[in-house]
Structure 1
Amino acid sequence: MKVSTHTCPVCGFDQLKEAPRSKSGSASFEICPACGFQFGVSDDDDGLTYDEWREDWITRGMEWSSRGIKTPRGWKPEALLKSVLKKKK
């Protein structure tokens, strides 16, 4: 059985365990291990948009954010980021 994964709308990391938002708009509160965005906190509580967080993450060098989850082998943030930016157009 294939495990369903979801994509971070901030950085394009495609292995989130939950959808960032449910169909009703509720946040998952999951933290993206790649960019560090926490759905329902970074946006709802802190008032940051996906674009604002993304720009800051890029400025900081697109470093892997999680300390508890190892960076996936062959992880290329530039490639994932391209997929997110392409979807925005």
Structure 2
Amino acid sequence: MFFKKKKFYVCSVCGFDRLRGPLYNKDGLPDISLICGCCGFHPGYDDDELGYSFETYRNKWIQNGMEWLREEEKPTNWDLNKQLSNINVSYKG
């Protein structure tokens, strides 16, 4: 029996590596149905409507205590810097 490995994507804001799809398609259009289960970034809304860049949204999320949108998706022994390394960012806090 053949099992297809499920593909996950990385959030460009917080580095969470279990998104069900990319935040933006190959043409740069946001997937407005997708919200990161970690930082809560909503492409097409938080950036286009509210004017956040990835960096400003990330900084706000960190300053507000790094709360997970969906706590049930948070890995055991979660580490912010390990997750941020997925997007080549580090936090010195």
Pair in the same fold by TM > 0.5: yes
Structure 1 gap ranges (5+): none
Calculate the TM-score normalised by the size of structure 2.
Answer: 0.80
Based on CA coordinates, which of the two structures has the bigger radius of gyration? 2
Matched, 1:9 2:40: no
Sequence identity percentage: 34
What CA deviation, in whole Å up to 9, does each residue of 1:37-88 have, x standing for no partner? 0011111111111010001111112221226x442223222211133234xx
Matched, 1:39 2:43: yes
Calculate the TM-score normalised by the size of structure 1.
Answer: 0.83
Matched, 1:24 2:27: yes
CA distance in 2, matches of 1:35, 1:26: 20
Which residue in the other structure is 2:74 paired with? 71
User: Root-mean-square deviation (CA), in Å?
Assistant: 1.6
Which residue in the other structure is 1:80 paired with? 83
Q: How many residue pairs are counted as aligned between the two chains?
A: 85
Structure 2 gap ranges (5+): none
Return the letter of the residue paired with 2:41: F
Runs of 4+ in 1 over 6 A off after TM superposition: none
Matched, 1:50 2:54: yes
CA distance in 2, matches of 1:8, 1:65: 13
